[in-house]
Structure 1
Amino acid sequence: MDFTPTEEQSAALDLAARIFTDLSTPERLGALGTDSDRELWKELCAAGLGGAVRETGLLGLVLLLEEQGRRTAQVPFAASGAYGLLAVASHGTAAQRERLLPALEDGTEVATGAFPAQPGVRALPAQPGVRALPARPGARADADGRLTGTVAWVPWLRDATYVLVAAADHGLWLVRTEDAEVRPVELTAPWSAGHLVLDGTPGERLGGAGAYDDVLATARTAFAGLQAGVCAGSLARAVEHTSTREQFGKPLAAKQAVLLRAADAYMDIEAIRVTAYEAAWRRDEGLDHRAASLTTAWWASEGGRRVVHAGQHLHGGAGADLDHPVHRHFLWGRQLDAYLGGGAEVLADLGELLAHGDDAIEEGERS
């Protein structure tokens, strides 16, 4: 496996880093509240970064999301990339791709995903010899493609024009948010989230067998990449603070306890990053990436929580200031931990998959 960015991925990464650095400043973020940064979203899409996701694959998206996470930029990039661009490109019909992809690329349409069992899904393939555990009920589709049910909270739902709904039978349905009821929800992180209510809402089927598993694994990987950036940004702020803040005439960074805490955080970040790269690479190469996506989700959940707590702690009293930029990383890190399912539940999912899905994985890779 080779995680070296291609020329196209590197170019997109450099462009994204410049845009996020220039526009996603602490002052702008403080003024947004729980709203998304529409100006930043327009700038990203106008620069062609939406279209770049199709060209650079999931690994390219993960690289871009790392840059978003470093700045905790309030745009629906992860949701629209995983549940919109990559989902439609991989599982949509020719007509769906022709109709939806251009608008998703230029940002006039925004997608998100309502997966009722995320967090805590037990997503195993329905194959002979593999024990499948059902997802928690969230939405059900009737014979006419009308959906009924609720999903407690969906990230960036208030920005979305489409929501990809996972029904209880693991079928995927595209729903126009204007046809559903969306209620604002306040989360730990200042995301533009919403409570989704479906009551005979018309849906458009997306994909067939295997689409659910692929989209769920893709989303887990994408949000793990976002967590890697959030944690890297938190640690960078802690390093800057401890290098300039002095105690008894010496920088805090000179203290062994501070160095060890920062080193542990760095190792956790690298683990999140490399496992996200592996999961993304496997998907882009057409290999089974379910187990790899659960591995990176576990690291992003467990390691991510440790890192944002360390970042807060290394700031000392300044870290207790709710208006300090590092506190935003803390809120994002905890929200991503919850969204990915929490370490214990993700580990249980991974154990189930490894215990009952090995034959299916090996068969898929041989083919």
Structure 2
Amino acid sequence: MDFTPTEEQRAASGLAGEIFADRSTPERLAALGTAADTELWKALCAAGLPGAVEDIGLLGLVLLLEEQGRTTAQVPLAATCVYGLLAIAVHGTDEQRERLLPGLRAGSEVATGAFGRGGAGSGVRVVGAVRERARLSGVVPVVPWLGEATLLLVPDADRRLWLVRAGDVGVGVEPVATTAPGSAGRLTLTGAEAEPLGDDAGGMGDLGGLRGRGGPAPYDDVLAAARTAFAGLQAGVCAGALARAVSHTSTREQFGRPLSTNQAVLLRAADAYMDTEAIRVTAYEAAWRRDEGLDAASHALTAAWWAAEAGTRVVHAGQHLHGGIGADVEHPVHRHFLWGRQLAAHLGAGAQLLEELGELLVAEAAKSVAETATFVGETEI
């Protein structure tokens, strides 16, 4: 494994860092409140950063999201890239790529995915079909950036992926308040028209044509990419919280010396640093494996677990190391605390992720044993 960024990835990450640092200041974030930063989004798209993800891969996206997390910039970069650009580029038809990718690159289209908390599933079902499209019904309680999205990637109960237009008939969007700023919403589909992502479910003339087509591979790939991307965003959030804590404890004095000279402060900061690095390296590994065409499902789950469990510890430590100031809702470090908690909730509870990881590892081990037994049997014959 080699996580060394390519020249293109370094250039994109450096440009993203400059844009976020210049435009996503604490003063601007305070003025925005819970709204998305549309001007910043336009600047990112004008610089070609969302579109560059098609070339720099998921690892490159993780690097961009780290920079976003450091400043807690309020833009739908992760959602648009994993549920839109990467999903359509990899799994869409030639016609879908030609029709949808230009708008996603330019920023005129914003995508998101209705995968449910922790990827637990959406509860959406196919209830009918018209021409080459399906009718979907169901409710997804919380969808990130739903208020900004124009294009929705919706999995059904059978793990097939569908593209839905946010403004279409039968698509209900209701704002939902979450821990961190952002235009999340509740999605209600009542017979909404949807087109299949790719051609797996294509060519059907009735509902029966929808059954038995398509496999779990696209769903699993998009879910793993999303988990990896949001873990990368969490790594940036934690790095930003830790940087603020280090700056504060190095300059704030108590009893005539900086807080950072106290052993308890040093140990708390060191633990937070190790947790942040664990989130980062597991996200890097999962992203690198996907870019290399290797199986990354268990690695994405590992990154998600670290992001949820360790991420919560880090943002709590960052706030704690600020003392009473950290409890001030207007202090920048409090934003990192809110973002860390929200990302952990979005990725899913640690126990839930560990249970899924354990089931996946057991299934992989059983498959390996079965393949070995088959090989031995064929050799004996």
Shorter-chain TM-score: which interval? over 0.9
SS at match of 2:74: coil
SS at match of 1:191: coil
TM-score (norm 1): 0.93
Deviation at 1:240, TM superposition (A): 0.3
Deviation at 1:357, TM superposition (A): 2.9
Describe the shift of the 1:307–1:357 C-alpha distance in structure 2 as closer, same or farther (beyond 3 A).
same
Q: Which residue of 2 aligns with 1:156?
A: 145
* Paired letter, 1:190: P
Q: Whole-Å Cα distance in 2 between the matches of residues 120 and 82 of structure 1?
A: 14
1:185 aligns to 2:176 (yes or no): yes
Describe the shift of the 1:362–1:90 C-alpha distance in structure 2 as closer, same or farther (beyond 3 A).
farther
Deviation at 1:143, TM superposition (A): 4.2
Q: Which residue of 1 aligns with 2:19?
A: 19
Stretches of structure 2 lacking an aligned partner (at least 5 in a row): 199-213, 372-381
Q: Whole-Å Cα distance in 2 between the matches of residues 226 and 190 of structure 1?
A: 15
Q: Which residue of 2 aligns with 1:217?
A: 224
Any residues of structure 2 matched to 1:274-353 within 5 Å, and which?
A: 274-353=281-360
* Paired letter, 2:182: W
Q: Which residue of 2 aligns with 1:139?
A: 124
Among the aligned pairs, what percent are the same residue? 69
Any residues of structure 2 matched to 1:80-119 within 5 Å, and which?
A: 80-116=80-116, 118-119=117-118
Q: Whole-Å Cα distance in 2 between the matches of residues 360 and 110 of structure 1?
A: 39
Describe the shift of the 1:68–1:363 C-alpha distance in structure 2 as closer, same or farther (beyond 3 A).
farther
TM-score (norm 2): 0.90
Deviation at 1:56, TM superposition (A): 0.4
Any residues of structure 2 matched to 1:261-276 within 5 Å, and which?
A: 261-276=268-283
Q: Whole-Å Cα distance in 1 between the matches of residues 369 and 218 of structure 2?
A: 19
Q: Which residue of 2 aligns with 1:126?
A: none
Q: Whole-Å Cα distance in 1 between the matches of residues 11 and 49 of structure 2?
A: 10
1:205 aligns to 2:204 (yes or no): no
* Cα root mean square deviation, aligned: 1.4
Deviation at 1:34, TM superposition (A): 1.4
SS at match of 1:182: strand
Q: Whole-Å Cα distance in 2 between the matches of residues 361 and 283 of structure 1?
A: 21
Q: Which of structure 1's runs of 4+ aligned residues deviate more than 2 A?
A: 357-364
Deviation at 1:358, TM superposition (A): 3.5
SS at match of 2:187: strand
Cα deviations by residue, 1:108-132 (Å, 9 ceiling, x for unpaired): 001000013x3263xxxxxxxxxxx
Q: Whole-Å Cα distance in 2 between the matches of residues 16 and 276 of structure 1?
A: 19
Q: Which residue of 2 aligns with 1:168?
A: 157
Deviation at 1:360, TM superposition (A): 5.3
Rg (Cα) greater in structure:
2
Deviation at 1:291, TM superposition (A): 0.1
SS at match of 1:203: strand
Count of residues in correspondence between the two structures: 349
SS at match of 1:112: strand
Q: Whole-Å Cα distance in 2 between the matches of residues 57 and 361 of structure 1?
A: 29
Stretches of structure 1 lacking an aligned partner (at least 5 in a row): 122-134
